């Protein structure tokens, strides 16, 4: 069950130089957290739980192929949760088994023909994965370890309890809490799984390396990698990621990545007759606009606002006026392209706000038609499009009726980010 590819690539590297295979185990079937959905498909901070760790690996420069192991019969649920992330050529979906070890083996088998030397095995139930944890694990492997895992110190006092009575105290100085992802030499961990007695259950892949006498190195884990086990865990993570308090935000990993971009454009009136193209529609006018394309200042400003929110250049870099291909071109295709760039980069347009500044033509009678057209071109609902108009009180070139100006703001959702990201 292979996916189709996306435009999302590692931030600091390329696929050719990647050396880390990834297995994300998302085959659990429990729905006790409510909503009738497995926890990996429930919404957390704006997207499904499983997408958070997928995005963390996608954006890491060492990442090569990513195998997401899902339960049998849950392909549609996985596709709905992952959305356009499945456009990435590195991602493959495979069916897991009844036990965790069966699912891990399915993932390892899917990676067995790759040349990637390392593999990270990660639980989808640990959604918030800081990049520096991956960095530390890879550094440990580069130092010669057979396996590496992130751990946290045990800070609570540990009591031995029987029938609600304390029977003793356990020394915690040599204890640690294990997290995922855990990183291995891909050929070696594949052999360990194949040679293991299949009748014996394995809940921790590190144990296989321990039992073989291999060297397992620990690195500092992260409190943000907490595992979603109960409804209470989900409530804690959800509350943290939506907190407005600055300390709470920086103490936890993932918050909604909402970005805003601004755009501005202006065109003078030409000596030729109208109509003018404005906001995606034609408006009767004594004079047209002087421009290389159709001169739709409204759509041009909206495009630049979207490109700004994406940090993806500007309209001139995508549609240079020096290229005769765009002479007289409809600006509809420019806005459609900008919306497609959002999709390719894993973003979604939340709202578009356009202000037109001119003495003529009158915008009011055409406002609704503009909103409808912009919504259609951008692929969003009309209640997410605002079109406003003003004059400059007879001041400046717009006040003298020499042209039309437009300014726009685009708000987009770009998934989630780690609060400490620079």
Q: What is the 3-state secondary structure (H, E, C) of 282-341?
A: EECCCCCECCCCCCCHHHHHHHHHHHHHHCCCCHHHHCCCCCHHHCCCCCHHHHHHHHHH
CA–CA separation, 242 vs 29, rounded Å?
Answer: 27
The pLDDT value recorded for residue 241 is 62
257-418 is classed in which CATH architecture? 2-Layer Sandwich (3.30)
**All structural domains of the chain with their residue ranges:** 15-252, 257-418
Tokens coding 91: 């991602």
- Average pLDDT of the chain to the nearest whole number: 85
CB neighbours of residue 36 within 10 Å: 8
Q: For residue 182, which phi and psi values (nearest 5 degrees)?
A: -115, 135
Pair 50, 82: CB distance under 8 Å: yes
The pLDDT value recorded for residue 202 is 83
The pLDDT value recorded for residue 325 is 80
CA–CA separation, 134 vs 42, rounded Å?
Answer: 25
Pair 374, 387: CB distance under 8 Å: yes
CA–CA separation, 370 vs 299, rounded Å?
Answer: 10
CATH number belonging to domain 15-252: 3.90.550.10
- The tens digit of pLDDT for each residue in 62-105 reads 999 999 999 999 999 999 999 989 999 999 999 999 899 999 99
Block means of pLDDT (10 residues each) for the chain, length 422 residues? 34 59 87 65 84 92 95 91 91 93 95 95 93 94 96 91 92 92 96 89 90 95 86 70 42 63 92 87 85 87 95 91 82 92 86 92 92 93 93 84 91 64 42
Helices (H) and strands (E) in the chain, counts: 13, 18
Tokens coding 185: 């030499």
Give Cα 62 to chain centroid, integer Å. Answer: 17
């Amino acid at each position: 069950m292979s996916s189709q590819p996306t435009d999302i690539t590692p931030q600091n590297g390329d696929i050719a130089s990647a050396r880390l295979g990834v297995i994300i185990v998302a085959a659990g079937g429990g729905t006790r957290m409510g909503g009738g959905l497995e926890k990996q498909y429930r919404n957390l901070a704006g997207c499904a739980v499983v997408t958070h760790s997928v995005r963390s690996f996608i954006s890491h420069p060492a990442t090569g192929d990513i195998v997401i192991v899902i339960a049998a019969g849950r392909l549609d649920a996985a596709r709905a949760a992952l959305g356009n992330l499945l456009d990435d050529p590195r991602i493959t979906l495979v069916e897991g088994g009844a036990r965790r070890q069966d699912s891990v083996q399915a993932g390892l088998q899917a990676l067995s023909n790759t040349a990637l030397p390392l593999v990270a095995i990660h639980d989808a139930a640990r959604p918030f994965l800081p990049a520096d944890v991956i960095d530390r694990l890879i550094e440990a492997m580069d130092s010669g370890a057979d396996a590496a895992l992130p751990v946290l110190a045990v800070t609570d006092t540990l009591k031995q309890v029987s029938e609600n009575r304390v029977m003793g105290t356990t020394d915690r100085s040599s204890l640690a809490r294990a997290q995922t992802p855990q990183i291995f030499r891909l050929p070696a961990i594949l052999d360990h799984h194949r040679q293991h007695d299949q009748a014996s259950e394995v809940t921790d892949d590190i144990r296989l390396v321990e039992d073989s006498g291999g060297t397992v190195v620990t690195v500092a884990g992260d409190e943000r990698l907490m595992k979603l086990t109960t409804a209470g865990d989900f409530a804690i993570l959800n509350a943290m990621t939506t907190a407005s308090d600055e300390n709470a935000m920086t103490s936890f990993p993932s918050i909604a990545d909402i970005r805003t971009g601004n755009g501005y454009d202006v065109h003078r009136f030409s000596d030729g007759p109208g109509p003018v193209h404005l906001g995606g529609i034609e408006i009767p006018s004594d004079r047209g606009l002087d421009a290389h394309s159709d001169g739709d200042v409204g759509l041009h400003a909206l495009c630049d606002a979207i490109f700004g929110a994406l940090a993806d250049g500007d309209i001139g870099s995508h549609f240079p006026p020096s290229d005769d291909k765009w002479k007289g071109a409809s600006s509809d295709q420019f806005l459609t392209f900008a919306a497609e760039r959002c999709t390719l980069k894993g973003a979604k347009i939340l709202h578009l706000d356009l202000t037109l500044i001119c003495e003529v033509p009158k915008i009011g009678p055409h406002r609704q038609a503009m909103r409808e057209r912009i919504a259609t071109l951008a692929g969003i609902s009309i209640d997410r499009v605002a079109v406003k108009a003003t004059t400059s009180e007879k001041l400046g070139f717009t006040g003298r009726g020499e042209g039309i100006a437009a300014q726009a703001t685009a708000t987009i959702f770009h998934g989630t980010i780690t609060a400490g990201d620079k």
